[in-house]
Amino acid sequence: MAGARGLSRHCPLLLPQDRHGTAYEGFVTAQGRDFHIRILLPVDLQLKNARIECSWRLKRILHGYRHILKQRLHSCPDLVSFMVELKTVLEIALKNTQDLHVPRPPEYYSCLVRDLEILGWNKVAYVDTGLTTVRLKAEDSCGRQHLITLKLNAKYPTEPPDCLVDFPVPFAVSWMPQNSLIDIYNQFLAALESLKEFWDALDEIDGKTWVLEPENPTRSATTRRIAIGNNVSVNIEVDPRHPNMLPECYFLGADHAVNPLRAKLNNNMHLWDPEISLLQNLRELLEIDFPSRAVLEKSDFAKDCGICYAYRLDGSTPDQVCDDPRCGQPFHQACLYEWLQGLPTSRQSFNVIFGECPYCNK
């Protein structure tokens, strides 16, 4: 109910179309204008697999922001957060669309070129032909490459540009009319260093374990689903502001495999040491060694779905496992849901469906 209330507060014209919360239709409002939109979620309500349908007018306005919205779709924890992000991006897009028709004075171009020369052209990754969009590149202290996209309006430098970054936290620029691009660049560098420990922790996980999801994580992604063994994994949600604290952990797999892991985590939680790495803490609390990329291949523990016979389906991997220890066959949640719905022996209680395993009939 809290999620529904949050959505109605931010998008009162976007209404649920079914009792499962998998379809929403209505309007998103920005700058006093309403735009028709329809959002379809899979049965597991995973945003990354959502389908968004919108009017041609909204599609045209958001055309240049598709990659940003895709990143946000993968990194936002719920629909409310994504709609807040969507409205923010839409506000920026509408503002920049209006600015395209505002003639820019000669001082705008001379000021922008001067600022770019002071900053250094070696830091510029892209400039559009209209000199309204600038993409700058930077390297943090660990050698990671980052980009910041600046959308400049006709009143620059009196007003700051809109800044788009691949961060797990909001990036707000402090700006005075006498500031220039170098001030934004320095704030960007400072923000990169503030996120150093977060990216260090996730880079170690990405490099030393088998991450099942997301397949190609962005810098804004805060979750990792890490393989533990055959059809057993743990999904962690890392707080970017406190990356050395115990993350939220959710185990996926058959009960006989994940229950001992849950017990170890609960019993050893007091042993968490913020002075050592997140990965080392997880190893010690769970009393396990994660499958190593140096020793094992993904195929050693990642099995295909027992229904569609594929490993990846619309971006998701099999995360439902038969509880019978002698079976342990994995399935995509969507495949299993559709299969069980078609069986006359299955029964449903609210949003949970019960039925026989397609493999072992248990």
pLDDT tens digits for range 24-79 = 888 888 888 888 898 998 888 888 888 888 888 888 888 888 888 888 888 888 88
* Fold classification of 303-361 (topology level): Herpes Virus-1 (3.30.40)
Query: Considering Cα of 14, then 16, then 17, then 22, what sign does the dihedral take?
Result: positive
> Do residues 41 and 79 make contact, with C-beta atoms less than 8 angstroms apart?
yes
Band (pLDDT 50/70/90 cuts) for residue 2 is: very low
Strands 352-354 and 124-127 come out as unpaired
pLDDT, tens digit, for every residue of 187-233?
999 999 999 999 999 999 999 999 988 878 899 999 999 999 877 88
> Do residues 276 and 261 make contact, with C-beta atoms less than 8 angstroms apart?
no
Q: What is the CATH number assigned to the segment(s) 106-194?
A: 3.10.110.10
* Fold classification of 1-99 (topology level): Ubiquitin Conjugating Enzyme (3.10.110)
Q: What is the CATH number assigned to the segment(s) 209-301?
A: 3.10.110.20
Helix (H, G, I), strand (E, B) or coil at 4: helix
Mean pLDDT of the chain: 86
Token pair 């229904």 is found at 307
Mean pLDDT of 294-298: 67
| Identical topology for domains 106-194 and 303-361 | no
pTM > 0.85: no
pLDDT, tens digit, for every residue of 130-147?
888 899 999 999 999 999
Highest mean pLDDT among 8-17, 169-178, 198-207: 198-207
> Do residues 310 and 317 make contact, with C-beta atoms less than 8 angstroms apart?
no
What's the pLDDT at 344? 85
pLDDT, tens digit, for every residue of 250-272?
998 888 888 999 999 999 999 99
> Do residues 209 and 298 make contact, with C-beta atoms less than 8 angstroms apart?
no
| pLDDT over 50 (residue 1) | no
Helices (H), the chain: 2-10, 56-61, 66-75, 79-99, 106-119, 181-194, 196-208, 255-268, 278-286, 333-341
Of the two residues 202 and 316, the one the predictor is more confident about is 202
What's the pLDDT at 102? 64
Longest Cα pair distance anywhere in the chain, in angstroms?
Answer: 75
> Domain locations in the chain?
1-99, 106-194, 209-301, 303-361
